[in-house]
């Protein structure tokens, strides 16, 4: 007899229960796998966001005055302190991952926690002798100066350097000529003493007369020594009372003190384009004799570009050094021009013949001629510098129309007038560019940063700023953890809590 088996509503077999358990385990495992990928993505995004947030803590006055983003890594005692940045990064990471006000983290789909933040590498702006500062400044200026404009400027700078090399050693020319004249005079006098015969004596008397006439001729070679001993500022008639008397402590500058060093290498390369960009950055954000600061109290020195070139402790000493260097450039350029002016070469030859013709040595006469041209070029150069300091322009290579000084009018107590100006010429600041171009980059970088340190240090709250504590790039190792969510529902009896832990390496930099 067939019996009806009664089954309660809602019941299931053991087999069906096992199937349901397997299916749910598979579903929960798939969900947990998708969740893990989501957690990793959130952790990576959080690390990038934290790095950007850390970079946002740059030294504001440095951006406002010099348009540079730099992160201050100094601790409370003024020394480099990476822990300070690590703690700030961890706090930011925790804030970004802040738990919801309601509910525990175990019930959130992407419940992440920041475990640690460790700054493994960092690069300081003073690293590599200050070249990291060079690259940062050049990187900023790429949006301000096109390569075509930089190329034109670079050609002018190279032209100035070529002129200086072509002129050779001007002082040596003068000294050799003076020594040659003195030696010729002494030889002529010895010859007169040796000769005893009357007929020869008569000839020697004539030669002696020629020597005396040569000695009586005004010799511009004798003037240049006194001119140089006068001092360049007095020579150009500068009013010392109007020149800044500011000075800095030379013993505390970046060039001389021990500096912190980073442990991160940045892949930056420079060439002529970066040289021009860096130079224009300096000309834009630093002051000079022609462009003094508007506020005297905000600057340690008034002639900052001059300081970068000369590296002296006082404004006056830097101005003197720069004027002397401009004088050398102008002297070389003027000497090169004189070689091409037949009329002026003829005037110099006539004077050289009067001074050394008695020797009968054409090589000596030629040497004296070149020395006279050198002295003449120096005299013209003094007038050039005087014009440049007055805000006028002087071309690299002059023409006859641009020339100002007459060789016949040179005298020992020369009162130098300003040279003729030329609208297409170069200004004082253009000559500063030339001098910057031929000054070693690392020296310029350290001197520029020394000024930045001292200038920013005058602002309230930044008195202890040190450039060798400022970071421009760093790498951070972030560690995140999260609890298991779906697998905890699919596993039973493990006896321990399951969780995840990931670490991510993230780099950050102010370089674009």
Is 277 contained in some domain?
no
User: Are 179 and 120 found together in one domain?
Assistant: no
Look at residue 141 and tell me if it is in a domain: no
Strands 470-483 and 113-124: antiparallel
- Does residue 107 surpass a pLDDT of 50? no
**Cα-Cα-Cα-Cα dihedral of 457, 253, 439, 374, to 10°?**
110
What is the predicted pLDDT for the residue at 473?
A: 93
Structure confidence at residue 497 (pLDDT): 54
Whether the per-residue pLDDT at 99 is higher than 60: the answer is no
Do 318 and 349 lie in a common domain?
yes
- Range with lowest mean pLDDT among 181-185, 417-421, 450-454, 464-468: 181-185
**Same domain for 382 and 242?**
yes
Same domain, 254 and 304: yes
Q: Into how many domains does the chain fold?
A: 2
Which of 429, 456, 483 is where one domain is finished?
456
Q: Is the pLDDT of residue 106 over 70?
A: no
**Orientation of helix 362-389 relative to helix 428-437, angle to 10°:** 120
- The model's pLDDT over 189-220, given as tens digits with 9 standing for 90+, comes to 666 566 645 454 445 554 455 555 555 567 88
The whole-number pLDDT of residue 23 equals 77
Do 104 and 158 lie in one domain? The reply is: no
98 and 181 inside one domain = no
Residues 447 and 479 in one domain: no
Residues 502 and 379 in one domain: no
Whether 480 has a pLDDT exceeding 50, the answer reads: yes
| Residues 451 and 490 grouped into a single domain | no
Query: Can you tell me the distance from the alpha carbon of 51 to that of 137, in angstroms, rounded to the nearest whole number?
Result: 22
Going by pLDDT thresholds of 50, 70 and 90, the confidence category of residue 102 is very low
Q: Quick check: is 246 in a domain?
A: yes
User: pLDDT tens across 414-452, in order?
Assistant: 888 899 988 888 899 999 998 998 888 899 999 999 999
Give me the helices (H) in 217-341, please.
223-230, 232-235, 272-285, 304-310, 315-340
Q: Is residue 464 part of a domain?
A: no
Q: What is the mean pLDDT of residues 245-272?
A: 86
Asked if the structure places residue 283 within a domain, the reply is no
Which residues are registered as beta bridge partners of 481? 113, 501
Quick one: pLDDT at residue 478? 92
Q: Assess if residue 131 is contained within a domain.
A: no
pLDDT of 108: 57
DSSP 138-167: HHHHTTTS-HHHHHHHHHHHHHHHHHHHHH
Q: How confident is the model at residue 400, as a pLDDT?
A: 92
Is the pLDDT score of 241 beyond 50? Answer: yes
> Do residues 467 and 453 touch, judged by C-beta distance below 8 A?
yes
| Half-sphere exposure of residue 120: CA atoms within 13 angstroms, side-chain side | 13
Residues 6+ apart with CB under 8 A from 459: 61
User: For residue range 382-423, what is the model confidence (pLDDT) as tens digits?
Assistant: 999 999 999 999 988 899 999 999 988 888 888 888 999 888
Of 232, 203, 277, 161, whose CA–CA distance to 378 is shortest?
Answer: 232
What CA–CA distance (Å, rounded) separates 114 from 119?
15
Distance CA 484, CA 107 (A): 10
State the Cα–Cα distance between residues 310 and 304, nearest whole angstrom.
Answer: 10
Q: What is the pLDDT of residues 312-359, one digit of tens each?
A: 999 999 999 999 999 988 988 898 899 999 999 999 999 888 888 777
- Scanning the structure block, which residue is given the tokens 């109290």? 297
> Is the predicted pLDDT of residue 275 greater than 60, yes or no?
yes
Q: What are the E-state strand segments in 239-283?
A: none
Q: For residue 5, tell me if it sits in a domain.
A: no
**Same domain for 22 and 154:** no
Whether residues 303 and 410 share a domain: the answer is: yes
What kind and span of H or E run contains 291? none
Question: Based on the number of CB atoms within 10 Å of its own CB, is 423 exposed (0-12), middle (13-18) or buried (19 or more)?
Answer: exposed
Please give the residue range of the domain that contains residue 51. 14-69+81-125+474-509
For residue 351, tell me if it sits in a domain.
yes
Tokens of 214: 């040569």
**Residue 178 or 378, more confident:** 378
Does one domain contain both 310 and 387? yes
């Amino acid at each position: 007899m067939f019996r009806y088996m009664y089954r309660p509503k809602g019941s299931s077999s053991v087999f069906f229960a096992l199937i349901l358990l397997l299916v749910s385990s598979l579903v929960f495992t798939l969900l947990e796998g998708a969740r893990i990928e989501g957690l990793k993505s959130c952790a990576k995004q959080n690390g990038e966001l934290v790095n950007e947030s850390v970079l946002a803590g740059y030294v504001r006055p440095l951006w406002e005055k010099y348009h540079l983003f730099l992160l201050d890594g100094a601790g409370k005692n003024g020394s480099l302190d990476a822990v300070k940045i690590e703690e700030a990064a961890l706090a930011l990471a925790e804030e970004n991952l802040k738990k919801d006000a309601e509910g525990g983290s175990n019930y959130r789909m992407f419940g992440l926690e920041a475990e640690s933040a460790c700054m493994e590498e960092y690069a300081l702006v003073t690293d590599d002798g200050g070249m990291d500062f060079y690259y940062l400044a050049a990187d900023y200026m790429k949006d301000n100066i096109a390569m075509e404009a930089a190329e034109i400027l670079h050609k002018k700078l190279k032209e100035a350097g070529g002129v200086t090399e072509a002129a050779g050693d001007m002082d040596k020319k003068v000294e050799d000529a003076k020594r040659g004249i003195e030696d010729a005079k002494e030889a002529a006098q010895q010859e007169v003493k040796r000769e005893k015969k009357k007929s020869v004596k008569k000839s020697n008397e004539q030669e002696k007369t020629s020597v005396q006439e040569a000695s009586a001729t005004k010799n511009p070679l004798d003037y240049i020594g006194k001119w140089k001993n006068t001092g360049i500022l007095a020579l150009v008639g500068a009013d010392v009372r109007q020149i800044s008397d500011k000075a800095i402590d030379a013993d505390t500058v970046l060039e001389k003190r021990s500096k912190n060093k980073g442990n991160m290498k940045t892949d930056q390369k420079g060439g002529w384009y970066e040289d021009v960009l860096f130079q224009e950055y300096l000309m834009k954000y630093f002051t000079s004799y022609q462009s003094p600061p508007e506020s005297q109290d905000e600057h340690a020195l008034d002639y900052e570009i001059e300081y970068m070139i000369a590296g002296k402790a006082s404004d006056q000493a830097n101005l003197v050094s720069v004027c002397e260097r401009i004088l050398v450039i102008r002297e070389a350029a003027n000497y090169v021009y004189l070689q091409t002016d037949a009329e002026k070469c003829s005037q110099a030859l006539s004077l050289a013949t009067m001074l050394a013709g008695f020797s009968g040595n054409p090589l000596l006469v030629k040497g004296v001629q070149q020395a006279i041209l050198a002295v003449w070029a120096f005299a013209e150069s003094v007038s050039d510098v005087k014009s440049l300091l007055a805000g006028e322009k002087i071309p690299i290579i002059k023409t006859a129309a641009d020339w100002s000084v007459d060789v016949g009018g040179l005298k020992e107590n020369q009162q130098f007038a300003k040279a003729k100006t030329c609208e297409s010429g170069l200004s004082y600041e253009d000559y500063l560019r030339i001098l910057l171009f031929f000054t070693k980059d690392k020296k310029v970088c350290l001197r520029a940063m020394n000024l930045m340190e001292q200038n920013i240090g005058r602002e309230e709250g930044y008195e202890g700023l040190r450039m060798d504590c400022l970071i421009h790039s760093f790498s951070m190792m972030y560690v995140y953890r999260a609890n298991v969510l779906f697998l905890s529902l699919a596993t039973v009896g493990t006896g321990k809590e399951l969780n995840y832990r990931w670490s991510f390496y993230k780099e950050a930099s102010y370089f674009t």
